[in-house]
Amino acid sequence: METVAVNGTIRTEVGKKATKAVRKQGEVPCVIYGGDKVIHFTSPPSAFKHLIFTPEFKLAEITLDGTVYKCILKDAQYHPVSDEIVHMDFLQLIDGQNIIVNIPVSFKGVSPGVKAGGKLVSKLRTIKIKTTPDQIVNQLFVDISEVTLGNSVRVRDVEVTDKMLVMNPGATPVASVEIPRALKSAGAAEAAAEEEGGAVAE
């Protein structure tokens, strides 16, 4: 499992005034919860770029006063105008304790429907999984090598281990191979020609 190292400074003062001062200094106010206590800290925005600006799911190893906290990012808030990060929430991971995470899903194989001219359309980008920290992965996979025109792969087709509990309904589509309008038109024209030919033959 890929991790991102984050170094931070523990905050002793909290509240609106203190938080405003932190942002004025160019730091991001953050919080870690889920462990024995709630921890407030700050880090520069650059510390989070490999954690946020990526399609993959990653863990964060946050070092504060020499102590390392293994966490997952639960929420990031942005300024409505500048898009700067204004706050981040992290959940501390405890060995053996189940957590629920959203893991990106990727496709493997080549769809015969795509080969025939169809378009693969993603319907669900992440899968909600309940598992322990040691079982978390960067991404999950679903095989599309048997998906023909007009058909879908569903949540139940996603590859997971026996130590992962999928929280999404199994029938939910993950991706579909849609039939392009040109193919539909060509098929309709062909069917009409066949019908006309049959009528003439009669």
pLDDT tens over the chain, length 202 residues: 889 999 999 998 888 888 888 999 999 999 999 988 999 999 999 999 889 888 788 999 999 999 999 999 999 999 898 888 999 999 999 999 999 999 999 999 999 999 999 999 999 999 999 999 999 999 999 999 999 999 999 999 999 999 999 999 999 999 999 988 776 665 544 544 455 555 444 5
φ, ψ for residue 93, nearest 5 deg: -90, 130
147, 121 Cβ separation under 8 angstroms: no
Cβ atoms within 10 Å, residue 94? 14
* Nearest CA-CA partner of 34 in 86, 75, 77, 87: 75
Bridging pattern class, strands 28-33 and 85-92: parallel
105, 127 Cβ separation under 8 angstroms: yes
Classified as helix, coil or strand, 165 is strand
Bridging pattern class, strands 3-10 and 28-33: unpaired
